Amino acid sequence: MLTTALIVLPVAGALLVAALPLTRVGSAGLAFLVALLEVGLWVVAAARFDFDAGGLQLGTTREWVESLGISYAVGFYGFSLWLAGAAVIVFAAAIGYALWAGRDRPRAYHALMLFLTGAVVATFAAQDVLLFYVAFEAMLIPLYVLVGVWGGERRLAATLTFVVYTMAGSLLMLAAVVAFGVTQGTFSLAGSGTSDNTWIFLGFAVAFAIKAPLFPFHGWLPLAYRQAPVEVAAVLSAIVSKTAIYGFLRIALPKFPEPADELSVAILLLAGAGLVYGSLLAFRAPDLRGIVAYSSLAQMGLITLGVFAVDDLGLDGAVLQSVNHALVSASLFLLVGMVERRCGTGDLAALGGMARGRPVLATVLLVAGMIALAVPGSTTFAGEFLIMAGVYGQGWGYAAIVAVGIVLAAMYTLRLISAVLHVRPGPAVREEALDLRPGELALVLPLVVCLLGLSAWPALVSQSSFPGDDPVRALAEELG
Amino acid sequence: MIPTPKVDWLALSPTLALLGASGVALLAAVLVPEWMRKAVAAGTALAGFVLAALLAGVVFDRSPDSQALLSESMTRDRLAALAQVILALVGAAVVLLSWEERRRGSHAEYYALLAAAGAGMVFFVGAGNLMTLFLGLEWFSLSLYVLVAIDTERADSLEAGLKYVIVGGFGSAVLLFGSALVYGATGALGFAQIAAAGAEGDALLLAGLAMILAGLAFKVSAAPFHMWTPDVYQGAPTSLTAFMSAATKTAAMVVTLRVLVTAFPADSDLWTVALGVLAAASLAWGNLGALAQRDVKRLLAYSSISHAGFLLIAVAAASERGGEALLYYLVPYSAMSVGAFAVVAARERELTRPVTLDSLAGLGWERPFYGVALWVFMLGMAGFPLTGGLFGKLFAFSAAYDAGDAWLVLVGVAATLVSLAYYLNVVRWLYMRPGPELRAAPVAGGAPPRDPALAVAVGAALAVTVGSFVLAQPLLDLASAAAASLPF
């Protein structure tokens, strides 16, 4: 029931926000309130979750289309609970940012954001392939409009590329879902066995690779992340990308062990290439959003390396790093939005010297940046180290790629920090541009505090993601 | 004394209800004073459609087994009854959305012919031999020919009517010729007797089968027999286009399924291939054609051609599962189709000119209810979740996959991808055009014309579109009860 409530609450909130004729602040405030309630509900769910016990928890199963074996089956495993937690927190921050920034047509905007929250949580909770497809697609409906209506100058091109890319993947996935469900006789993830059909596996894998995105399926990424409203870009890179990781962990790996094993070298190589290529692009990007966007591409490659290492350490690391990246990427995007609002541009050439007289901005950006570049002692360091250790089992070359990625991450993150905070003040930085306001701080600080908390205790996530803290066995036996 | 045949009045009652409504409305055209003529005629037609739906529901409930009626010329079964319910409800919605249509006189004639067309379709889906099949087809087609051309002051409407008569007449002639060939080969007219004649593989029979298939393909507007569709859909009064896109397709699809499965089961290895080819051609032609359209009615016409393809995928499976998928899909498809044309009609009445994509600009913000509704219908036609369109495609694809037609699944998936381009384009026009383009679009200003009847029809279509997703199983149960009345 609790899981269903987590899905229904934001959707009901969306209908309420859309229906009530409130003022601009009123509807945005109501949406923010719903998002905070959702966080509260997740905390209740996490408190009731028994991390020591194995198996699916907080589950609800109801027959939906019996004749085809489709059911409304939802519930959480450790890793999906953590991903959902990161999602609700990031959504609360993003909706809070929209409240603060004041979006046009607030009723429609906030209704769509809340609807998106519900769809994302449903994706993380889905325990039926068709329900997963439904939720995965449902995310696209609000995103198409959110980018297309409230985006930047080239929003129409951005939203069209994004939707065409994702739908190409999704429809392949639909064919795969049909083939999987019909051959298994059921669409339920718990009730179906494994399959050794490489084509069906590819249908799923390509859809996830586009959504993540993984190199070379990232063509939609630069335009979408640059043109979307900044909090939507935050949600895209932080949360929507993680639905692909959930898909890999819940469907592609456990349901297709043999095809996944056969193709793992190719996927690992592509993920490694994405890690290095994304990092290099981030290092060369001329604007703030470009850096964060391409660093997302790199990080998704890194996480995929951890997933397809199919090793206890790698899988734990992949989940931890997914949560880390969600929080880091959301904080950075929101900070980028705050800088852009002050300077009217995200061009690195026009920025600089903002640290002087703006201590709060400098401190928060520096802390978030330090965590992003995986300084030893941070939770991202723990995640990347676990992935590196995990992927070492597949070959030392992969571990070397991860190491290169970590070094490059330091390079592009420091470039971002120094371009905003240090050097001489850029032409777009006006003397009177304010420091972070308390309201802005209240949005970013919780994300950073979560990161600092995880830095103190990364095992909170990494050791409780899979039943019995035994990921490989769990994938083969419980999820398969 | 001449023996009188036993007549199953209940099975014929939906047809009779509509025929009665048609007659009363026609009398109203002459006898009722002008000021209340439209109200009386529309009310009678609405009552006729609702009564027909209720009676068909009763027939559905009381016909667990299939029965042949009137010397096996008609069939009483759940397939016919379910199709009749869909047809009658579509008709009722169309009466609602016709109410405010601007028309110089001839209101009562319009509703009388609409009820007559409905009666013909309701009769057609229960046909049990080739004679009644042709009779039903001509019955509703003749009504539609006049209806398409009823707005005599509009050249478009007349042109569409003429095209429809010529092409439709040709289609009917082909079907009739095919029926004659089949009769020649088997000496039988009844579907069951044709199957029992054991003439499978006979050249004459196959030629007849091909011609019957072509004749029906004209009516479902499957490529390459679709040429009339865009012109007729564009020229006909918009509320009538809604009726044709939903009801004609439903009736013709159900009859196609029935004829092929009951009369030609032995040749199923041939006609499944033929239907697969027709489906693929419709998907390709419909979707590619829709990409180039600026006029929304034409765009929806091409979309209906592509939907003929999706529905034919289900028929081509030639299995009970395929029949279920077809009957399920017809429900959300009819709702989406009627709803989409209804929103177009609302915009058309507001602007008093044909609706092109640019005249949709900003509709989503100006008229939030119609905007959201059209958005949902477009997503539904594209097979997005939260609408019955997803399950329609899913059931059709799984029936095809089950029947070993994996290639049709891939064609369907590719077609869906192409279709996104124009469905999402409509959404783009609704919500996302930048400032200058919005200003270029005529802003009607002030309150939109009040049209509660149309809003009710749109609301009902919206409810069915979303409801068929949530309550997929109950609806699928009805569909499978209907499909079970055919001898698969």
Chain B CA closest to residue A136: B385
Q: Which residues of chain A neighbour B399 with C-beta distances below 8 Å? A: none
Chain B CA closest to residue A71: B473
Out of B385, B424, B431, the one facing A134 most closely (by C-beta) is: B385
Q: Which residues contact A293 (CB under 8 A, 6 or more apart)?
A: A221, A222, A225, A226, A233, A237, A282, A285
The pLDDT score that the predictor gives to residue B32 is 86
The 3 state secondary structure assigned to chain B is CCCCCCCCHHHHHHHHHHHHHHHHHHHHHHHCCHHHHHHHHHHHHHHHHHHHHHHHHHHHHHCCCCEEECCCCEEECHHHHHHHHHHHHHHHHHHHHHCCCCCCCCHHHHHHHHHHHHHHHHHHCCECEHHHHHHHHHHHHHHHHHHHCCCCCCHHHHHHHHHHHHHHHHHHHHHHHHHHHHHHHHCCCEHHHHHHCCCCCCHHHHHHHHHHHHHHHHHHCCCCCCCHHHHHHHHCCHHHHHHHHHHHHHHHHHHHHHHHHHHCHHHHHHHHHHHHHHHHHHHHHHHHHHHCCCEHHHHHHHHHHHHHHHHHHHHHCCCHHHHHHHHHHHHHHHHHHHHHHHHHHHHHHHHCCCCEHHHHCCHHHHCHHHHHHHHHHHHHHCCCCCCHHHHHHHHHHHHHHHCCCHHHHHHHHHHHHHHHHHHHHHHHHHHCCCHHHHHHCCCCCCCCCCCHHHHHHHHHHHHHHHHHHHCHHHHHHHHHHHHCCCCC
ipTM attached to this prediction: 0.90
Please tell me the total number of residues recorded for chain A in this structure. Answer: 480
Reference B99, options B235, B213, B239, B218; nearest CA is B239
Contact B478, B331 (CB under 8 A): no
Q: Which residues of chain A neighbour B391 with C-beta distances below 8 Å? A: 65
Distances (CA, A) of B377 to A130, A253, B92, B430, B451: 21, 36, 19, 13, 20
In chain B, positions 382-421, which contact chain A (CB-CB < 8 Å)? 383-386, 390-391, 393-395, 397-398, 401-402, 406, 409-410, 413-414, 416-417, 420-421
Asked if B438 has any chain A CB less than 8 Å from its own CB, the reply is: no
How do the domains of chain B map onto residue ranges?
Answer: 9-483
Q: Cα–chain-centroid distance for residue A118?
A: 14
The token pair that represents B253 in the structure block: 């699809």
Distances (CA, A) of A6 to A12, A13, A14, A137, A223: 10, 11, 13, 18, 32
Residue pLDDT, tens place only, A34-79: 999 999 999 999 999 988 887 888 889 998 888 888 999 999 999 9
Four-residue CA torsion sign, B426, B432, B437, B440: positive
The pLDDT score that the predictor gives to residue B11 is 86
Chain B CA closest to residue A146: B432
Nearest CA distance, A63 vs chain B (angstrom): 9
Residue pLDDT, tens place only, B362-378: 888 888 899 999 999 99
Asked if B472 has any chain A CB less than 8 Å from its own CB, the reply is: yes
Residue type, B105: G
| Backbone torsions φ then ψ of B316, nearest 5 degrees | -65, -20
CB pairs under 8 A between A and B: 84
Q: What is the DSSP letter of A348?
A: G
Chain B CA closest to residue A156: B432
Asked if B320 has any chain A CB less than 8 Å from its own CB, the reply is: no
CA angle (A84 as vertex; A60, A403 as ends), nearest 5: 135
Q: Which residues of chain B neighbour A171 with C-beta distances below 8 Å? A: 413-414, 416-417
Reference A70, options A21, A128, A151, A2; nearest CA is A128
The pLDDT score that the predictor gives to residue B118 is 95
The pLDDT score that the predictor gives to residue B359 is 85
**CB atoms closer than 10 angstroms to residue B62:** 12
Q: Are strands A70-76 and B74-76 parallel, antiparallel or unpaired?
A: unpaired
The pLDDT score that the predictor gives to residue B187 is 86
Q: Which residues of chain A neighbour B398 with C-beta distances below 8 Å? A: 68, 178, 181-182
d(CA A67, CA B480): 10
- Best to test chain B binding among A7, A68, A172 (most B CBs inside 10 Å): A68
Question: Which whole number is the average pLDDT over A262-276?
Answer: 93
Give the DSSP H or E segment for A217: none
Q: Cα–chain-centroid distance for residue A392?
A: 25
Answering whether pTM is above 0.90, one says yes
Distances (CA, A) of B206 to B200, B201, B213, B315: 8, 7, 10, 18
Given a cut of 90, whether residue A345 has pLDDT beyond it is: no
Contact B393, B413 (CB under 8 A): no
The pLDDT score that the predictor gives to residue A425 is 85
DSSP A427-456: TT--TTPPPPPHHHHHHHHHHHHHHHHHHH
d(CA B422, CA B437): 19
For chain A, which residues lie within 8 Å of any Cβ of chain B, measuring from their own Cβ? 63-68, 70, 105, 130, 133-135, 137-138, 140-141, 144-145, 148-149, 155-156, 159-160, 163-164, 167-168, 171-172, 174-175, 178-179, 181-182
d(CA B462, CA B339): 7
Contact B344, B452 (CB under 8 A): no
Is B472 in Cβ contact with A182 (below 8 Å)?
A: no
Residue in this structure with the two tokens 């603060």, named with its chain if needed: A100
Residue pLDDT, tens place only, A379-396: 999 999 999 999 998 889
d(CA B163, CA B42): 27
Is A149 in Cβ contact with B432 (below 8 Å)?
A: yes
| Backbone torsions φ then ψ of B227, nearest 5 degrees | -55, -30
In chain B, positions 344-363, which contact chain A (CB-CB < 8 Å)? none
d(CA B114, CA B46): 10
Question: Which whole number is the average pLDDT over A151-177?
Answer: 89
d(CA B440, CA A438): 43
How do the domains of chain A map onto residue ranges?
Answer: 2-478
Reference A282, options A383, A411, A177; nearest CA is A411
Give the DSSP H or E segment for A191: none
Neighbour-count burial of A329, counting CB atoms closer than 10 A to its CB (0-12 exposed, 13-18 middle, 19+ buried): buried
Is B386 in Cβ contact with A134 (below 8 Å)?
A: yes
The pLDDT score that the predictor gives to residue B439 is 52
Asked if B432 has any chain A CB less than 8 Å from its own CB, the reply is: yes
The token pair that represents B117 in the structure block: 């067309």
**CB atoms closer than 10 angstroms to residue B1:** 3
Is B410 in Cβ contact with A144 (below 8 Å)?
A: no
Q: What is the DSSP letter of A261?
A: H
Is A174 in Cβ contact with B385 (below 8 Å)?
A: no
Neighbour-count burial of B27, counting CB atoms closer than 10 A to its CB (0-12 exposed, 13-18 middle, 19+ buried): middle
Q: Tell me the three state secondary structure of residue A71.
A: strand
Nearest CA distance, A128 vs chain B (angstrom): 14
Distances (CA, A) of B296 to A398, B45, B137: 54, 28, 28
By percentage, how much of chain A surpasses pLDDT 90? 66
Q: What is the DSSP letter of A218?
A: -
The pLDDT score that the predictor gives to residue B441 is 53
Is A64 in Cβ contact with B391 (below 8 Å)?
A: no
Residue type, B135: L
d(CA B392, CA B390): 5
Q: Which residues of chain A neighbour B476 with C-beta distances below 8 Å? A: 65, 67
Is B395 in Cβ contact with A141 (below 8 Å)?
A: no
Nearest CA distance, B463 vs chain A (angstrom): 15
The pLDDT score that the predictor gives to residue B214 is 94
d(CA A184, CA A424): 64
Residue type, A139: M
- Best to test chain A binding among B369, B420, B476 (most A CBs inside 10 Å): B420
Is A178 in Cβ contact with B394 (below 8 Å)?
A: yes
Is B386 in Cβ contact with A138 (below 8 Å)?
A: yes
Q: Which parts of chain B sit beneath pLDDT 50?
A: 440
In chain B, positions 156-215, which contact chain A (CB-CB < 8 Å)? none
Task: Check whether the bond before B449 is cis (ω within 30° of 0).
Answer: no
Given a cut of 80, whether residue A398 has pLDDT beyond it is: yes
How many angstroms separate the most distant Cα atoms in chain A? 68
Q: Are strands A57-65 and A70-76 parallel, antiparallel or unpaired?
A: antiparallel
Residue pLDDT, tens place only, A88-143: 999 999 999 999 988 888 999 999 999 999 999 999 999 999 999 999 999 999 99
Q: Which residues of chain B neighbour A158 with C-beta distances below 8 Å? A: none
Q: Which residues contact A415 (CB under 8 A, 6 or more apart)?
A: A283, A291, A348
Reference A455, options A382, A368, A363; nearest CA is A382
Q: What is the DSSP letter of A379?
A: H
